A = this chain, B = another copy of it.
Amino acid sequence: MSLIIVGTVAFDSIETPYGKADRVVGGAALYGSIAASHFTDGVELVSIIGGDFPQEELAYMVSRGIDLAGLDIKKDKKSFYWSGKYHDNMNARDTLITELNVLAEFDPVLPSHYKDADYVMLGNLQPEVQMKVIEQMEKRPKLIILDTMNFWMDVAMDSLKKVIGKIDVLTINDEEARQLSGEYSLVKAANKILEMGPTYLIVKKGEHGALLFHEDKIFSAPALPLAEVFDPTGAGDTFAGGFAGYLAMTDDISFENLKRAIIYGSAMASFCVEDFSIGKLRTLNEEMVNERLQQFVELASFDVKAVETV
Which B residue sits closest to A297, measured CB to CB?
A: B304
In the bound complex, do residue A264 and residue B307 qualify as a contact, i.e. CB atoms below 8 Å apart? yes
Known A40-B310, A303-B260, A304-B296; judge A188-B227 contact (CB<8 A).
yes
Picked from B89, B186, B310, the residue with its CB within 8 Å of the CB of A39 is B310
**A89 partner residues in chain B, CB cutoff 8 A:** 184
A179 within 8 A of B: no
Report, nearest first, the 3 A-B pairs whose CB atoms are least far apart. A220-B222, A208-B208, A187-B227
* Pairs A–B under 8 Å by Cβ, sample size 18: A38-B310, A39-B309, A39-B310, A185-B225, A185-B229, A188-B227, A205-B208, A211-B225, A218-B225, A220-B225, A222-B222, A249-B307, A259-B302, A290-B307, A293-B304, A293-B306, A293-B307, A300-B300
**A133 partner residues in chain B, CB cutoff 8 A:** none
A88 within 8 A of B: yes
Q: What is the bound-complex CA distance between A52 and B106, given in angstroms?
A: 72
Q: Give A71-99 interface residues, CB cut-off 8 Å to B.
A: 88-90
In the bound complex, do residue B302 and residue A289 qualify as a contact, i.e. CB atoms below 8 Å apart? no
A206-221 interface code vs B (CB 8 A; 1 in, 0 out): 0011010000011111
A284 within 8 A of B: yes
Q: Give A26-69 interface residues, CB cut-off 8 Å to B.
A: 37-41, 65
**A285 partner residues in chain B, CB cutoff 8 A:** 309
Picked from B297, B302, B303, the residue with its CB within 8 Å of the CB of A221 is B302
**A300 partner residues in chain B, CB cutoff 8 A:** 219-220, 222, 300, 302
Residue among A39, A225, A306 with most chain B CB within 10 A: A225
A228 within 8 A of B: yes
Which B residue sits closest to A38, measured CB to CB?
A: B309
A286 within 8 A of B: yes
A277-290 interface code vs B (CB 8 A; 1 in, 0 out): 00000001110011
A226 within 8 A of B: yes
**A222 partner residues in chain B, CB cutoff 8 A:** 209, 220, 222, 300
Q: What is the bound-complex CA distance between A180 and B151, given in angstroms?
A: 37
Q: What is the bound-complex CA distance between A259 and B303, given in angstroms?
A: 8
**A41 partner residues in chain B, CB cutoff 8 A:** 310
Q: What is the bound-complex CA distance between A302 and B264, given in angstroms?
A: 11
In the bound complex, do residue A226 and residue B307 qualify as a contact, i.e. CB atoms below 8 Å apart? no
A299 within 8 A of B: yes
**A286 partner residues in chain B, CB cutoff 8 A:** 307-309
In the bound complex, do residue A228 and residue B185 qualify as a contact, i.e. CB atoms below 8 Å apart? yes
A298 within 8 A of B: yes
A244 within 8 A of B: no
